[in-house]
Structure 1
Amino acid sequence: MNSQVGGKATKGEMLLKCQQNLLRQRDAIAYRMKKLAAKQVELTKKTDAVKERIKKKYEDMKRVLDEDLRITLTQLDTEHEATEKLVEDKIEDCYHLTQELDQELANISTEVKTNGSDTQNAERDKRISETLKLTDPDLIQTDDFKNDQLLSLTINLLLFIRSQVPVTKKLFQSYASEVVLDADTAHPKLIISPEGDSVTYTETWQDVPETPSRFDNTLNVISERGFSDGRHYWEVDVSGKTYWELGLTYPSILRKGREEDCWLGRGKESWCVEYFNGDYTAWNGGVKHELPLLAGRQFTRIGVLCSFPGALVCFLGADTMTPLHCFSAGTFTDILHQALCPGHDNEGTNWKSLKICDAKRSPPVL
């Protein structure tokens, strides 16, 4: 009897202990949710603060440029006013002389006689000659050399500003990383250039050794070297292509078989942007993110930024630094490799190669 009672008490204690454990876990999760909400507010405040500071700096730059423009134009206006005043004075001199001549003409009688003495005529002729000489328009000049120098300085300032903007371009270029494609990972229908800087699709199955690292289903190739810290940026020339995929992947991405996890972005191991016949789609973990605002847009280069401190993977149209899509992974759990898929022939429209660009030497955005 006591044993049964003891047994019932033990069961009750177990239920109570289980209940208390569940309550603790629920409280822990509720507290975590509270902390995450606070983190969300903190991140928003931090981002807004950075945006506000940057905005003020741009406003400061605009004020500096506006003030410099005002000073420059005021100086030019002052010089113009001085030259214009000189021209007006010369016109006035000529006007007064013309009035004098008109008066003399009016005083000439109809009788034939000399108009004043020879001395007076000589003095008048001399004064007219001097006036014409002093009022020669070719003698009134602006300082064209100085103005050309001013224009040249303005052009140099514009070129410098253009070389620094977009500022994201300048910043991302400082993160530029060398990318060399690993031919041993390339699908047999892909040709990798000897330098490892381009990949081309061909319908001919290449005579390549079978290796565990080689993709045998999807038209993928990844980079030789990976990275596990810092910030990295790279660009790919996609001009003339109607189908491509590019992004980043852990080395654990599936290489064999027909599972969709072999495709870039279809598993949690990779992130990619896909372009097909004018439409852009971002992928990660099998989740499809359609990008309708980009439909029909064509870019010569696509840039990819990876930031380990922020666990970010960002894609952009490098021509104009147009954001395409950005993933936040929270934390990267392995090294990352760059990944490319040039796509199939797409009814004869997609034979061009995907080529790795030197991101540090990207054409300036005008």
Structure 2
Amino acid sequence: MSAVLKDALKCHLCSKFFHEPVTLECSHSFCHHCIDGYWSTKVPDTDYTCPTCSRGYPHKPRLTLNMELAAQVKPYTGAAVSTPMQMCEACSVHPASKMCATCDMNYCDKDLQVHKKRNHVIVDLGMCVQELQCREHSEFYKFFCQEDETMVCTICKLMGYHEHHSVITLDQAYENVMKSLHEDTSKRADLIKRVTELEKKYYTRKSELKDLIHQRVQKLDQDREEIIKLVTKITDTKKEELNKQFEEKDSALKKIIFNLNNKKTTLQKDKESMETELRTKEPIIFLLKCKELQQRLKITINGATAEADEADITECCPIDEEDSCTLEGIKCSIWRQLSGQTPTVDENSVHEQLLLSKDLRKVTLTEVSQPYPNQQGRFDSLYHALGAEQLNKERHYWEVDVSQADHCCVGVAAISISRKQKDGACSLGRKSDSWCLEKSNGNLSAWHDGCERPLNVAAIPHRLGLFLDFQKGKLIFCRTDTMMFLHTFQGNFKKQLYPAIELMGSDGSVSFCQM
């Protein structure tokens, strides 16, 4: 550091590096004990002056340690930066504890009591008095303007800017602010409590959600394993069925081949005999044997041709056009295992001419009315019955036996389906609130909203499988013997759905199958 800068860190009175430096309002700095000793020799009733610029101060300036300057001097003196103890300016014996801003003097606790009784402004040591005074009138703040929310002096209140404002004492303002802060603190305490409770709920909910997700992931893994086992089992079963079919048809073909080989051997012998006869040169001998040979060849050829006919081979070993070893068939098998259920008939919906079995799964059309109680939800015009279980889950699969009915409908219906003749009741599938497959005169057809779609099937199955995916709006009908799809309805299911049955004609029965 240059000599000029070092000189700037030295006291003008002792010419040494500052020790506990203090700075006057004129910006000149001195050691605390140097300036204090300098002023102790002044002539009474004269101003306190700056030794450097001679600026006068009517009252003894407050000497506060210049922390920044002390820090700069520390590397040269090695002295710790500390605030010098300020003594009571009344007794000069005890350390000062507070400052009387009204008198601008530091006092110990004993000498401070007189100033408290006089209601002087008491503040902490080292506090700037100007902060407690009105900038305009240099008077201590005595009041608080509620409109501007600021402290004001007596002059401001009586004749200044705040003359006509709502003004209260500082004690009143203090009490009001403290009360408001206490209320805010109480509110914040309540909010902190609520936030803490919500935080606990959050972590509790997070833990529950984590456990739930973990359980569902485990369930998905288990379901995946079950589905893999199920698909493997189904495909293995289908393979065994196909191998069995092949063995049966192969055995039949082997019998045909065996017979054809025998005929082929016979034909070969006859051919050789004929070639031998053709080598005969004598006409009389040839003609004698020719008639017998021609008769025998005619019988052999006719017999071999009939048994070797390709149509006979096709009839003996027909190839099924419908194959259950398709993706659709496997899907139906999986649905049967995972979503299979056994519906029961709703006793309060069944028509009075439908006899309901004790297990509530079979309805039979009779000529005699049953003594059912009169219910608002009972069908009274057509031979309908609804299932008791609502189809409200994601997926459902059930089967219906239609082998004992020549004319019937099976499917699903919304709860809003018309049940009374006066309400325009009609067969299943004739309106938008029902979907069905109709069996009639050896034919099958799909019905919905009055639209019929005939189905091309070689033979009507005894049992029909129904798969409902409520979320995706899909209703699938399939055969239960081959698990082949018969028809698929695609829609948007919004209302509650139930299994539905309808019998037509004069007799017959339909039943929900035990799964």
TM-score, reference length from structure 1: 0.49
Q: Which has the higher contact order (CA 8 A, sep 6+)?
A: 1
Instruction: Choose 1 or 2 for highest CA Rg.
Output: 2
Instruction: Tell me which protein shows more helix as a share of its residues.
Output: 1
TM-score, reference length from structure 2: 0.36
